[in-house]
Amino acid sequence: MAKFIYQTLMLTFLKLVADGAEHALQEVTESLSLEFSPMV
């Protein structure tokens, strides 16, 4: 299970950095939290 969570997080992280642009840590963490937060 931990491997699945790691792969899911890494895939999302790699999508963020794939554009080659610089991203602030806050921007990355916000994007990850939006991707994995339950829809209300």
From CA 9, how far away is CA 33, in angstroms rounded?
10
Region 6-32: what's the mean pLDDT?
84
- Would you state the pLDDT for residue 10? 86
Domains in the chain: boundaries: 2-36
Helix spans in the chain (H) = 2-17, 25-36
Residue 40 has pLDDT above 60, yes or no: no
- Inter-helix orientation angle 25-36/2-17, to 10°: 130
The average confidence (pLDDT) of the chain is 82
39: left (phi over 0), alpha (psi -120 to 50) or beta: beta
Question: If we measure between CA atoms, which residue out of 4, 6, 12, 3 comes closest to residue 30?
Answer: 12
Residue 39 has pLDDT above 70, yes or no: no
pTM of the model: 0.54
